[in-house]
Amino acid sequence: QLQTQEAAVQRYKADHNLNETADGTSFADQQITAISNQLVLAKADLAEKQATNDRVQALVKAGDTADVSQILASPLIVQLRTQQGALIAQESDLNTKYGPRHPKMVAMETQKRDLQDKISTEVSRLAGSISNDVVVARAQVGSLSASLAQAEKQAGSQNLVRVNLRALQSNAQSTRTMYEAFVTRLRETQDQDVIQTPDARVISRAPVPSAASSPKRTLIFAASIPAGLMLGLLTALL
Q: What is the number of H-type helices and E-type strands within the chain?
A: 6, 0
Beta bridge partners of 215: none
Task: Please state, in angstroms and as integers, the Cα–Cα distance from residue 6 to each residue in 10, 84, 169, 177, following that order.
Answer: 6, 80, 8, 13
pLDDT on residue 30: 79
pLDDT on residue 40: 92
Rounded to whole angstroms, the Cα distance separating 237 from 228 reads: 14
The pTM of the whole model exceeds 0.75:
no
- Phi then psi for residue 57, to 5 deg, are -65, -40
Rounded to whole angstroms, the Cα distance separating 126 from 84 reads: 19
Taking only the tens of pLDDT, the chain with its 238 residues reads 989 988 888 888 777 777 665 555 667 777 888 889 999 999 998 898 888 888 877 777 776 655 555 555 666 666 666 766 677 677 666 666 766 676 776 677 777 777 777 777 777 777 777 888 889 999 999 999 998 888 887 777 666 677 777 888 888 999 999 999 999 998 888 777 666 666 677 788 888 877 777 777 777 888 888 888 999 999 999 9
Is the peptide bond prior to 207 cis by the omega test (within 30 degrees of 0)?
Answer: no
Rounded to whole angstroms, the Cα distance separating 67 from 192 reads: 91
Instruction: Report the SS3 class of residue 80.
Output: helix
Rounded to whole angstroms, the Cα distance separating 29 from 126 reads: 41
